[in-house]
Amino acid sequence: MSKFFTFSFLAGAVSAIVCFLFFLAGSALNINPLGASKAFGYILMFAMFFPTLWYLREKQLGGKIHFPQAFLFTSLMNFFACLFYSLLIGLYLSQFNPQVLVNHKQESKMFISSMKNDYLKTMSLESFNEGLISLEKITVADIMWDEFYKRFFILLIFAVIAAFVMRRTLYNEEKI
């Protein structure tokens, strides 16, 4: 069991590093890595489930993995990947390039301001102004928490899919 835990820990760390490299590339290309471009990071983490499950199944478990094993592994891997990724982003935003957060706040304000007329049709001006003020209060810790829990819960759905696709049990081999 500790081998299983260690392998999910390492696979999660690798997944986080791959996604963080994408984050750094977006930052280097002056693309807001905290904006809509982060959707590709979700896809990267999801894609990392398949080779690691394949390796676990073929090299560690003798070619057989049951759905509960695969789901537990992908869930643990997802947890560690999201944890490490949010920690890497927090370290980067607080120590290396705080300007990324400042730029994200400015872009978010511009986006929300561009939709002011539509917003005012359903909500009050006071509510709109409170929303703009709340953008100023965003901290690195808020970004870290947001990245962790959103990624974890969204990718948990995809962990079920990956576990279902990659499972191979003795029962399935007997039917073939």
The boundaries of the domain holding residue 73 are 2-97+140-175
- Domain-located, residue 26: yes
- Domain-located, residue 49: yes
Structure token pair of residue 72: 């537990």
pLDDT at 169: 56
pLDDT at 172: 47
- Domain-located, residue 123: no
pLDDT at 1: 64
140-166 and 39-55 helices, crossing angle to 10°: 40
SS3 69: helix
Structure token pair of residue 141: 């810790």
Count of structural domains, the chain: 1
pLDDT at 176: 45
pTM for the full model?
0.85
- Domain-located, residue 112: no
Write the secondary structure of 52-74 as one string of H (helix), E (strand) and C (coil).
Answer: HHHHHHHHHCCCCECHHHHHHHH
- Domain-located, residue 58: yes
- Domain-located, residue 88: yes
- Domain-located, residue 102: no
In DSSP notation, 116-162 reads HHHHHHHS-HHHHHHHHHHHHT--HHHHHHHHHHHHHHHHHHHHHHH
Measuring CA to CA, which residue among 123, 15, 11 is closest to residue 59?
11
Per-residue pLDDT of the chain (176 residues; tens, 9 = 90+): 677 889 999 999 999 999 999 999 988 888 888 887 788 889 999 999 999 999 998 888 888 888 999 999 999 999 999 999 999 999 999 999 999 899 888 888 888 888 788 777 777 788 788 878 888 888 999 999 999 999 999 999 999 999 998 886 544 454 44
pLDDT at 41: 86
- Domain-located, residue 44: yes
